[in-house]
Amino acid sequence: MAAVHGLIRPERDTHLGGENPFESMMARFDIAAQQLNLEPGLHQVLRHPERQLIVACPILRDNGQVEVFTGYRVVYNTARGPAKGGIRFDLGVTLDEVKALAAWMTWKCAVVNLPFGGAKGGVLCDPSTMSMPELERLTRRYTSGIIDLLGPDSDVPAPDVNTNERMMAWIMDTYSMHKRHTVTAVVTGKPVEMGGSLGRREATGRGCMIVTREALKGLNLPIDSRTRVAVQGFGNVGSISAKQMAGLGLKIIAVSDKDGGIYNEKGLDIGDVLEHVRQQRFLKTYTKAERISNEELLELECEVLVPAALENVITDDNAGKIKAKIICEGANGPTSATADQTLQDAGILVIPDILANAGGVTVSYFEWVQNRGGYFWDEETVNNRLEKIMVESFNEVAGMAARHGVSMRIAAYMVAIDRVAKVHRLRGMYA
Ligand code: NAD
């Protein structure tokens, strides 16, 4: 008998921390909308996703059995341009999570002023239990399930948790086979050999480094080894953030992955740690530092904390114990809405996710532009253009925060909502 996956939701783990991610996003949206005096009609429009698609993805497992996975794609808003947003393969995927992430993408693209709307996709599955051929079949079947939404001018996916360049190549191929010609711009985060952009893999971590550097300058903190950094998560975002911040001269005292962290108060040799993970995959076998738990890492004595793993790791329970002066949110939604006030009262500068990790989508935008133009840029051009956008966006958000006396998070939402709302007003209501 075919197993039916996704009809019964497994208990969520630490991902949600008990807070509904869509409501958590909306809590901040409502505060920002109120600050902007957003008219009630537009407020209602921006509270609703444009389209929500749920698809069944039957695939043949290697053992010959058919299994049906549930896939989602939510297009939140396309007022400013084609929808843009990643696809995650995870056991924690729910429609509410995908809706929240799609809304975050809308605000993120608007904060850094890209001509994109927001979307997100996900498949409820445990990729760690699947072979590469099974993952390929699932990626292709999911792509064909949502193909009516996709297109360079309508909805452009990218990698997210547990999806990577390899899968983006399969998405591009599946879409192109249906269209009967090669369409590189339908997806970003592709391998460089088939239309990916130089600098894309490093872009999110590089962006985190740039906004952290600007925040350090703003707080008159030294940009050298007196500034200690702790990074939670050592995947794409965490490891590159650590490497980039070490390159800036900061002292990385702790990093972690899902099994826990490593700590050295004198500073870790990040090149050595990266090489270890390249060879052994996990940090737990690294012997040249003390071991600490993920919870301890968040509460370390340091100047900069970079949560770069999961949602809702900073909550009411631990927000009061955080000692960092700056939190750079590499992950999407690492702080629960209820913890915002505690961090603000403690005078901690939070660089919010929709700004801090926007380097990734910015270089995805560069990839889309290069694909459409058929002309590719060198890495220096990519990095210089990313630097300019991240610095300008940081300053815009900081300016908004100062003018309105609000946190950087609410200011980032205000910049974003204001931009999306302006386009809605100019386009008018088609009804
Ligand atoms: P990844 O899969 O490459 O890495 C995730 C890391 O988190 C791994 O080191 C993993 O071991 C660790 N981790 C997993 N569970 C953990 C736990 N319980 N405690 C501590 N660490 C844990 O993913 P990524 O691409 O680096 O994405 C991380 C976050 O950044 C996600 O929230 C993602 O949405 C966000 N993000 C990613 C990008 C990008 O370009 N990759 C862009 C913007 C935002």
Q: Report the chain's mean pLDDT, rounded to a whole number.
A: 94
At residue 12 the predicted structure's pLDDT band, cuts being 50, 70 and 90, is very low
Q: What is the pLDDT of residues 335-364, one digit of tens each?
A: 999 999 999 999 999 999 999 999 999 999
Q: Give the separation between CA 340 and CA 383, rounded to whole angstroms.
A: 32
Half-sphere exposure of 391 (CA within 13 A, CB side): 9
Q: Give me the pLDDT at residue 431, please.
A: 79
Q: How many residues does the chain have?
A: 431
Q: State both tokens at 119.
A: 């979307």
> Measured from the CA of 361, which atom of ligand 1 is nearest?
42
Residue 117, classed as helix, strand or coil, is strand
Cβ–ligand 1 contact at 160 (below 6 Å): yes
Average pLDDT over residues 379-385: 98
Cβ–ligand 1 contact at 382 (below 6 Å): no
Cβ–ligand 1 contact at 112 (below 6 Å): no
Q: Give me the pLDDT at residue 270, please.
A: 98
Q: Give me the pLDDT at residue 3, please.
A: 36
**End-to-end distance of the chain based on CA atoms, in angstroms?**
48
% of the chain residues with pLDDT over 70: 96
Of 321 and 337, the one with more pLDDT:
321
Buried b (16+ CB within 10 A) or exposed e, 79-96: bbbbbbbbbbbbbbbbbb
pLDDT beyond 80 at 16? no
pLDDT beyond 70 at 167? yes
- 251 in catalytic set: no
Q: Give me the pLDDT at residue 234, please.
A: 96
- Strand partners of residue 83: 117, 155
Q: Give me the pLDDT at residue 18, please.
A: 53
pLDDT beyond 90 at 182? yes
Residue position matching structure tokens 């609703």: 48
Cβ–ligand 1 contact at 241 (below 6 Å): no
The alpha carbon of 279 and the centre of ligand 1 are apart by a number of angstroms equal to 19
Q: Give me the pLDDT at residue 348, please.
A: 98
pLDDT beyond 90 at 14? no
Cβ-count burial of 56 within 10 angstroms (0-12 exposed, 13-18 middle, 19+ buried)?
middle
Q: Whose CA is nearest to atom 30 of ligand 1?
A: 331
Q: What pTM, to 2 d.p., does this model score?
A: 0.94
> Measured from the CA of 13, which atom of ligand 1 is nearest?
18
Q: Give the separation between CA 404 and CA 290, rounded to whole angstroms.
A: 44
pLDDT beyond 90 at 8? no
Residue 196, classed as helix, strand or coil, is coil
The alpha carbon of 232 and the centre of ligand 1 are apart by a number of angstroms equal to 9
Contact 237, 329 (CB under 8 A): no
The candidate with the shortest Cα–Cα distance to 245, out of 210, 274, 273, is 210
Q: What is the pLDDT of residues 146-159, one digit of tens each?
A: 999 999 999 999 99
Q: What is the pLDDT of residues 117-138, one digit of tens each?
A: 999 999 999 999 999 999 999 9
The alpha carbon of 370 and the centre of ligand 1 are apart by a number of angstroms equal to 27
Cβ–ligand 1 contact at 386 (below 6 Å): no
Q: What is the pLDDT of residues 298-313, one digit of tens each?
A: 999 999 999 999 889 9
The alpha carbon of 330 and the centre of ligand 1 are apart by a number of angstroms equal to 8
The candidate with the shortest Cα–Cα distance to 295, out of 265, 269, 319, 330, is 319
The candidate with the shortest Cα–Cα distance to 352, out of 365, 338, 340, is 340
Average pLDDT over residues 177-205: 97
Amino acid at position 224, single letter? D
Cβ–ligand 1 contact at 233 (below 6 Å): yes
